[in-house]
Structure 1
Amino acid sequence: MSTRPQTLPWQTSTSAALPLLTRWSISLARARRWEFWPAWLFYIPIIGWILLLGLRFRSPTLFTAANPAMDAGGVVGERKHEVLEPLQRNAPDLVATFTLIRGGDAAARVDAALAHAEITGFPIVLKPDVGQRGRGVFIAHDTHAVREYLQRFDGDVLAQRYVEGEEFGVFVARAPGEAQARILSIVHKTFPAVTGDGQRSLGALILAEARARLIAPLLWTRWAQRLDQIPAAGERVQLVDIGAHCRGALFLDARHCATPALIQTMTRLTDAVPGYCFGRIDMRCPSPDALARGEALQAIELNGVTAESAHIYHPDTPLREGYAAMLRQWRIAFEIGRTNRARGATVVGPFGLLTRFRDDLKRSDHWF
């Protein structure tokens, strides 16, 4: 089954609908697995914990000082290029090469992206400079896709080299003065796929595969135009290509990769970005073994305070373990924020944060 020409997300038809009983069955199965709970539901106890920490540390938003290199510590609305640029400058071997494409003339933007693609080759990754949870991230395989993306979305965009290999998220913490970075979490991001048998349609294969079935509503929209196509026997169809849990990626606990060699590499990476102290670094690497050796990794994004210790989304992780990791994470954010504030870092107040969250809600209407 050919996956070309490329279907762009905003061109996908949503006319294909899952049968009602199937939707109910999937909803029930998702409700029993907390990794699929709505974010607002999962975060109720965590918000309570953040409020308690605010009282304990005598500053409700002290965590916004945890990353002086990022606006508001990377809570919301931070610009990706502001931390990727020093990394590209100081440790270019540790980052996927990127170009910042400012808003403005559409033709000039397309030319800039294509110039980047000429250097790195296709595919390239296009994503908004300000965005969260995989919003607006798109892998462009050809000139047409680049042109469509940049003509439709006129905000600041990063054009980044697409890195082959497997995707990981390494959550680090490093208070000022600490000799080495600490690794709080490692997640291995994998992408659900189905294998054709030459008889069943793509839609039937999705519903027959245990993991894919759980995200069938998402996949039904993405693959709406191809659900009736029959993949050849042995043909592998990768259903997801963006490493975001909300976009369908499967997250696996990979904390066993937290070796001294990886800690050394993550320390060098954080050295290259002054003021980056706390957050999850998303990267590509040839394999878990290469990651454990701290070799051949390429950072694709540096996330701030509100990034998650994403190993908790490993299937069947007990809820109490998920909360324990998140509560620890937020305590450390407050502790590092306190240290940075004492060294002159800015703490953004509650009203400043509310304004940033309001602006982010507006952006969510702009990006797919």
Structure 2
Amino acid sequence: MSSFKLKWHKLTHWEYWPLWAVYYPLFPVWLFFSLKARSFFFFNTANPLMKNGGMAMESKKEIYDMIPEEYIPKTVLIEKESVTIDSVEKLLSEMNLQYPLIAKPDIGMKAFGVDKIKSKSDLESYINRTPEDFLIQEFIAYPDEVGIFYVRVPGEEKGKITGIVAKEFLSVTGDDRSSILQLIKQNPRSHLQLKALVKKFGNKLDTVLKDGEEFILVPYGSHTRGAKFIDRSNRNNKDLENLIDGICTQIPEFYYGRLDVLYADFDGLSKGNDFKIIEINGAGGEATHIYDPKHSLFFAWKEIFKHWNYLCKISIINHKRGYPYLSFKDGRAMLKANSLLEEQLKLV
């Protein structure tokens, strides 16, 4: 695909636009909710036991520790300051964690710095290039991933699901003729990830796949890493809602956010079988079903408004319960730190 066609595709498909282009037009809406809450940074009380409400700069390990362990992968925090490959391998052995593994920054965003670790050499490379504390998790081999957005108004017994998104991992399928690199360039979704894929796979991209052979380029469902998001909100059902509500009400003071879940079969997931929660995003979590290519920007804005309304309502109630809002000074510092961290993680 030519450079012009790629740029045109990106321009005419809003899902590829930078976040500021999607969210800046909604600033008056945020200002409205801020005036209603009497705080610009009201969101931190939505989930008052998560740092910043789970908006940014929160520790993933601290959130995992709040979730009943049967629902999450085995997870260990690695402190960067004094880490060596031998000390990490010893810890993994003690926890019975074996390759492949997933490594991710403890404080991260948008799947930057997330990697699949297949061997000791992969792990050593990750340790050397990651700048901060990170997590090592068992690799969950379930084939599908879904994001489930959940809200519960404080004081109400039950919460509800407000959106479900299925995630298709970025991949290519062989034709007996084309190299992986050529296949990547045939699809705008993968072509837009070319720089990162070349860095990751190098000469392996010259491999020619057999006809019908699928090659997973990115084994996790991140939109910023090329996953295709598909709105599956219509698949919500009573069993699934009871399952998610039952889990979320066990998480102390959790009212608003998105659960990213790996699972074997959707019907099985609804019944509580064969799934793991691989991440929970709090106030900063998007209702990512909006990124389904079939949805217009106006649909996305309507859904963002709906979820900000929930966020504001929950935050105000929790503030009245005694939880303080984030000060303007601390809120600005959080945004600055988050911006610096994003630039740092892009290099991992």
- TM band (smaller chain): over 0.9
Mapped partners of 1:302, 1:109: distance in 2: 28
Give 3-state SS (helix, strand or coil) of 1:283's partner.
Answer: strand
CA deviations 1:63-94 (Å, max 9, x no partner) are: 2210112111111101111121121xxx2221
Deviation (angstroms), 1:365: 3.6
Deviation (angstroms), 1:289: 2.4
**Which residue matches 2:229?**
251
8 Å Cα contact 2:174/2:183 also seen in 1: yes
Does structure 1 residue 125 correspond to structure 2 residue 105? no
- Within-5 A mapping of 1:1-368: 22-87=2-67, 91-107=68-84, 109-111=87-89, 114-115=92-93, 119-165=96-142, 166-209=144-187, 211-213=189-191, 215-216=193-194, 218-367=196-345, 368=348
Amino acid at match of 2:119: D
Aligned pair in 2 of structure 1 residues 156, 112: CA closer, same or farther (>3 Å)? farther
Higher deviation after alignment, 324-333 or 96-105: 96-105
Mapped partners of 2:340, 2:89: distance in 1: 28
Higher deviation after alignment, 284-293 or 66-75: 284-293
8 Å Cα contact 2:163/2:287 also seen in 1: yes
Gaps of 5+ in 2: none
Amino acid at match of 2:141: E
8 Å Cα contact 2:92/2:98 also seen in 1: no
Mapped partners of 2:270, 2:230: distance in 1: 15
Aligned pair in 2 of structure 1 residues 109, 309: CA closer, same or farther (>3 Å)? farther
Give 3-state SS (helix, strand or coil) of 2:104's partner.
Answer: strand
Higher deviation after alignment, 278-287 or 263-272: 263-272
Give 3-state SS (helix, strand or coil) of 1:24's partner.
Answer: helix
**Which residue matches 1:12?**
none
Aligned pair in 2 of structure 1 residues 358, 112: CA closer, same or farther (>3 Å)? farther
CA deviations 1:133-169 (Å, max 9, x no partner) are: 1111111011111122123325221111111121111
8 Å Cα contact 2:109/2:342 also seen in 1: no
Deviation (angstroms), 1:178: 1.7
Aligned pair in 2 of structure 1 residues 341, 182: CA closer, same or farther (>3 Å)? same
Deviation (angstroms), 1:61: 1.8
Mapped partners of 2:155, 2:312: distance in 1: 16
8 Å Cα contact 2:113/2:130 also seen in 1: no
Give 3-state SS (helix, strand or coil) of 1:366's partner.
Answer: helix
Mapped partners of 2:55, 2:183: distance in 1: 39
How many residue pairs end up in the alignment? 344
Amino acid at match of 2:80: G
Deviation (angstroms), 1:114: 3.0
Deviation (angstroms), 1:213: 4.2
Mapped partners of 2:204, 2:98: distance in 1: 27
8 Å Cα contact 1:65/1:340 also seen in 2: yes
Amino acid at match of 2:158: Q
Higher deviation after alignment, 202-211 or 294-303: 202-211
Deviation (angstroms), 1:294: 3.6
Give 3-state SS (helix, strand or coil) of 1:170's partner.
Answer: strand
CA RMSD, Structure 1 to Structure 2 (Å): 2.0
Deviation (angstroms), 1:131: 0.6
Mapped partners of 2:218, 2:131: distance in 1: 25
8 Å Cα contact 2:101/2:138 also seen in 1: yes
8 Å Cα contact 1:65/1:346 also seen in 2: yes
Deviation (angstroms), 1:214: 5.3
8 Å Cα contact 2:104/2:134 also seen in 1: yes
Higher deviation after alignment, 67-76 or 57-66: 57-66
Q: Percent identity?
A: 28
TM value normalised by structure 1: 0.87
Amino acid at match of 1:310: T
Give 3-state SS (helix, strand or coil) of 2:136's partner.
Answer: strand
Mapped partners of 2:332, 2:220: distance in 1: 28
Mapped partners of 2:188, 2:115: distance in 1: 26
8 Å Cα contact 2:166/2:231 also seen in 1: yes
Gaps of 5+ in 1: 1-20
Deviation (angstroms), 1:120: 3.5
Mapped partners of 1:221, 1:46: distance in 2: 36
